[in-house]
């Protein structure tokens, strides 16, 4: 019973302290009011004949449409950093829009399944008598992310760590 209460307290603490990123700012172009052209006193000629050069120049004019740049996946890539101290270097290889996470550390290499909610990537890992939950939240710069780990041990020992990880090029 005491262990269940501890796990619930850890889960509540993690969920209540989760950092939320603001919604992206989208600037929409508002249509500017245009004035109706003033009627001129001079009548326009009705049937003007254009030269062949004018006609071909007008027909070959094209408006340049910007080509959309491919959007980089928020989570996919290789992330690395020191978690607890300079002795705990970790590398995270994320692929499949966050569905696959390969974690490499002093403790070994683990192939894990991630779940993304569009803002954060979460996964878990557990063994005999221990369990850890992980979160990766990319910053707006796309180059850094906050990596958080929360672990509970066999004898009720717990640990919570957080560090900034960098995306490798």
Each residue's pLDDT tens digit, 60-113: 555 566 665 556 689 999 999 998 777 789 999 999 999 999 999 888 899 999
pLDDT of residue 67: 61
Distance between CA atoms of 90 and 71, rounded to whole angstroms?
26
Q: Is pLDDT at 158 greater than 90 in this prediction?
A: no
pLDDT more than 70, % of the chain:
59
In this structure, are residues 150 and 158 in contact, taking their beta carbons and an 8 Å threshold? yes
Res. 55 pLDDT band, cuts 50 70 90: low
CA angle, 104 then 106 then 107, to 5°: 80
At 2, give phi and psi (nearest 5°). Answer: -65, -35
Q: The dihedral of CA 78, 167, 104, 101: what is its sign? A: negative
Distance between CA atoms of 120 and 17, rounded to whole angstroms?
14
Each residue's pLDDT tens digit, 7-34: 777 666 655 555 555 666 666 665 555 5
pLDDT of residue 84: 77
Distance between CA atoms of 75 and 118, rounded to whole angstroms?
9
Distance between CA atoms of 169 and 167, rounded to whole angstroms?
7
With tokens 């009705």, the residue in question is 46
Within 8 A by CB and 6+ apart from 142, the residues are 72, 74, 167
Q: Which fold has domain 73-167?
A: Lipocalin (2.40.128)
Question: pTM for the complete prediction?
Answer: 0.56
């Amino acid at each position: 019973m005491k262990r269940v209460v501890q796990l619930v307290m850890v889960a509540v603490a993690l969920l209540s302290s989760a950092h939320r990123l603001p919604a992206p700012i989208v600037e929409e172009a508002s249509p500017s009011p245009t004035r109706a052209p003033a009627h001129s006193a001079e009548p326009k000629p009705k049937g003007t004949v254009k030269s062949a050069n004018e006609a071909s120049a007008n027909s070959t004019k094209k408006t340049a449409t910007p080509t959309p740049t491919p959007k980089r996946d928020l989570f996919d890539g290789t992330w690395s950093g020191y978690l607890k101290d300079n002795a705990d270097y970790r590398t995270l290889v994320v692929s499949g829009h966050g569905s696959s996470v390969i974690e490499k550390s002093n403790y070994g290499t683990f192939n894990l399944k991630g779940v993304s909610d569009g803002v954060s990537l979460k996964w878990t890992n557990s063994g005999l008598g221990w369990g850890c939950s992980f979160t990766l939240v990319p910053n707006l710069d796309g180059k850094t992310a906050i990596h958080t780990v929360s672990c509970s041990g066999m004898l009720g020992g717990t640990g919570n760590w957080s560090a900034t990880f960098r995306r490798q090029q």
